[in-house]
Amino acid sequence: MNNANAGIGMTSQRTRDRLIARLRDKGIRDERVLQAMSVLPRHLFVDEALASRAYEDDALPIGYRQTISQPYTVARMTEALLADDEPQKILEIGTGSGYQSALLAALVKDVYTVERIPELYQQTRKLLHSMNLHNVHCKLSDGTWGWENYAPYDAIIVTAAASQIPDSLTQQLAMGGRMIIPVGEQNDKQQLLTLTRTAAGFEKNKLEDVVFVPFVNEGKS
């Protein structure tokens, strides 16, 4: 992930505006999310060779067999995470490119994000620091463990598909808190789920069908 060239920099606001129009057409309604995405330079989160495609509504490779999620998916998950609430402390599982982290940083007080791939962790942490996103706290660790030191979290967002919802994450969710997580095997249909913690247990709702890269080494050290 590198800074895009000057040409991309000059046209990026216009291309961001077109992307926001497409997101509106697809049903994204939360103005907080749309405004934050309209000023977030997605081209900084992809390799320079792909910068010209940064504002297409597509997932793109970022190396290490990982991708930066489709903007619609990022917007949909963020909108669902913020629905009817204003969470102040969010745990993100799978820092990846840092794009989702940066979006959340514009919307909530603190973002705690975990990445398991050392090289990706290092370059993304450096990028987020260079953007002065000091409310994003990064950790190199297996995502299935969460980040227990700062639990409970008002919300948890998981950016890789789990075969089942990890108990270690649900237990780090505050009462009344919400988790957004894709669940399902890579070669089967995956579902994006909302999980809300209540006094009676966990309420689960399906948002839509999705395709995500899988959790790696689930439940393993």
Q: Which two tokens stand for residue 170?
A: 């649900």
CA–CA distance, 152 with 148 (Å, rounded to integer): 8
CA-CA distances (angstroms) from residue 88 to 39, 164, 174?
21, 26, 11
Q: Which phi and psi angles does 65 have, rounded to 5°? A: 65, 30
CA-CA distances (angstroms) from residue 221 to 144, 145, 170?
9, 9, 19
| Residues belonging to the chain | 221
CA-CA distances (angstroms) from residue 210 to 70, 183, 191, 197?
11, 9, 6, 23
Catalytic residue among 12, 38, 52, 69: 69
Q: Which amino acid makes up residue 86?
A: E
CA-CA distances (angstroms) from residue 85 to 82, 89, 155, 185, 214?
5, 12, 10, 30, 28
168 given a catalytic annotation: no
Q: Which residues are catalytic?
A: 69
